[in-house]
Structure 1
Amino acid sequence: MSDLDATTPRVFLARHGETEWTKNGRFTGKTDLSLTANGATQVAGTAAQLVGPGRLIDPVRLARVIVSPRHRARQTFQLLFGEENANNHGHAVDEAKVTFTESIAEWDYGDYEGLVVSEIRACRKEKGLDGERAWDIWRDGCEGGESAEQVADRLDALVSEIRAIQQPYMNGEQPVDVVLVAHGHILRAFVKRWLRYPLEAQLPMMLSPGGIGVLSYRNHDVNEPAFFIGMSLPPQQ
């Protein structure tokens, strides 16, 4: 498979743009923040370059767009696929293909909502936790929120749903790309479960606010999930 022919189905991971809490590293789960002006600019730049007819994410090739219901994700969806993106004029995604769902909402941080990592570790130390090793969300989850096991379970259900959509068309019989519009932690967790890694597995990843990641399958085989570490892009039209 060449990167450009895009015959094997793909899953695009779209992280929302910057918020006020993104800037200082505060854990933002259910708190319904808006994008900053810079965050909107980040997403608009991505949309202009990568979303639209003939671009990397082409609306006519999409089977589903799955969006977190949080406001910052909804704003990002609109900047990518709405009239805000001039590339989309006359090429909007069919509303029937768009789903807003908690299945791709950010990790529920529970008691750690609004805190930074150092504050979380200090709080846990006061409780006598983590005596031998530092807190790690991928292993320890969040007090009052979701455990790693709970996150893995809901993402596994979503992975299965996406594979059921794409499996009949692994050789390009029809375009069935999927886009997830969501958040930093949950999208990185999704990558691990897509690759069938446990969440506690060491797989350092970065996904910038407003950025796009790409998953697919090796050898046109639904049983060989993979991720792109680099790919060629369609020429600009």
Structure 2
Amino acid sequence: MPTLILLRHGQSQWNLEDRFTGWVDVDLTAEGEAQARKGGELIAQAKIEIDRCFTSVLTRAIRTSWLALAAAGQAFVPEVKDWRLNERHYGGLTGLNKTETAAKHGADQVKVWRRSYDTPPPPLAPGGEFDFSKDRRYAGAVLPDTESLKTTLERVQPYWEGEIAPCLQAGETVLVAAHGNSLRAIVKLLFGLSDAAIIDVEVPTGNPLLIELDGDLRPKAARYLDADRATKLPEL
């Protein structure tokens, strides 16, 4: 039976500083490391044997996968990294403090940029501190200069269909250690959620979401391994 585990990375340094992070490669805090290890311990307690791991090319997700797999006693599991599992690109908001940005542009506008499905923030100007075009992780790729959840899903979906789904269809148990918005994109695809419904879905950090799938990769059952920190899941 195909089994998928979605694991959102633990707290990062810029989460702690209340800054828009997106594609900036910041590391986990000590709390974030503890959250990742806890996720791995929960996987071990549930006696889940993972066959393969997918993650982004950002350190906070990569280290979350390493810490979780090690805590689960499965550090040997093969891992694939790809930028298409990166967090949503926050465009011109990248690096800004969220509270200060709300004071400048208005809380309502910032809420639209952060939580609407298809309204992206202003684009990132080229050549600045957070211009990723010369980063060798993205060599040969056509990069966005901003993203909404909609456009995040549009780059996650082909990777899901071409790389992750075939492993699941082969009966593997797959861990995807990634980011809030790239994981929400996968949840939208799997559960067939509307554009409006996905807005209210939030994946908690460091809490593995276990999804059992049928042969057509439709969810049969889904639960968070830490019930005390669970958020509401879409109905099956």
Please, what TM-score do these two structures have when normalized by structure 1?
Answer: 0.71
Q: CA separation of 1:180/1:231 partners in 2, compared to 1, >3 Å: closer, same or farther? A: closer
1:109 equivalent to 2:90? Answer yes
Pairwise CA distance, 1:194: 2.1
Pairwise CA distance, 1:176: 0.5
CA RMSD of aligned residues (A): 3.2
Task: Tell me, yes or no, if the aligned pair for 1:10 and 1:215 is still in contact at 8 Å.
Answer: yes
Task: Tell me, yes or no, if the aligned pair for 2:2 and 2:168 is still in contact at 8 Å.
Answer: yes
Indicate the SS of the match to 2:197.
coil
1:155 paired residue number: 156
Q: How many residues align?
A: 202
1:206 equivalent to 2:202? Answer yes
Q: CA separation of 1:103/1:216 partners in 2, compared to 1, >3 Å: closer, same or farther? A: farther
Q: CA separation of 1:22/1:180 partners in 2, compared to 1, >3 Å: closer, same or farther? A: same
Task: Tell me, yes or no, if the aligned pair for 2:93 and 2:122 is still in contact at 8 Å.
Answer: yes
Indicate the SS of the match to 1:92.
coil
Amino acid in structure 2 at the alignment position of 1:92: F
Taking the aligned partners of 2:218 and 2:38, their CA distance within structure 1 comes to 32
Indicate the SS of the match to 1:22.
helix
Task: Tell me, yes or no, if the aligned pair for 2:2 and 2:215 is still in contact at 8 Å.
Answer: no
1:81 equivalent to 2:69? Answer yes
Task: Tell me, yes or no, if the aligned pair for 1:70 and 1:105 is still in contact at 8 Å.
Answer: yes
2:141 paired residue number: none
Indicate the SS of the match to 1:87.
coil
Structure index of larger Rg: 1
Taking the aligned partners of 2:100 and 2:73, their CA distance within structure 1 comes to 43
Taking the aligned partners of 1:141 and 1:159, their CA distance within structure 2 comes to 22
Q: CA separation of 1:147/1:209 partners in 2, compared to 1, >3 Å: closer, same or farther? A: closer
My pick for the range that moved more, 116-125 or 133-142, is 116-125
Indicate the SS of the match to 1:74.
helix
Q: CA separation of 1:166/1:39 partners in 2, compared to 1, >3 Å: closer, same or farther? A: closer
Deviations 1:54-110 (A, max 9, x none): 844313xx1x3111111111211211224xx3734xx721x3xx1110111100111
Unaligned 5+ segments in structure 1 are: 1-7, 170-174
Pairwise CA distance, 1:231: 7.3
1:146 paired residue number: 147
- Written as runs of structure 1 = structure 2, the 5 A alignment for 1:43-122 is 43-51=36-44, 55-59=46-50, 62=51, 64-82=52-70, 85=71, 87-88=73-74, 92-93=76-77, 95=78, 98-115=79-96, 119-120=100-101
Amino acid in structure 1 at the alignment position of 2:73: N
Where in structure 1 do 4 or more consecutive aligned residues deviate above 6 Å? none
Comparing both chains, which one has the higher relative contact order based on Cα–Cα distances under 8 Å and sequence gaps of 6 or more? 1
1:22 equivalent to 2:15? Answer yes
Task: Tell me, yes or no, if the aligned pair for 1:11 and 1:178 is still in contact at 8 Å.
Answer: yes
Taking the aligned partners of 2:59 and 2:225, their CA distance within structure 1 comes to 31
Task: Tell me, yes or no, if the aligned pair for 1:155 and 1:193 is still in contact at 8 Å.
Answer: no
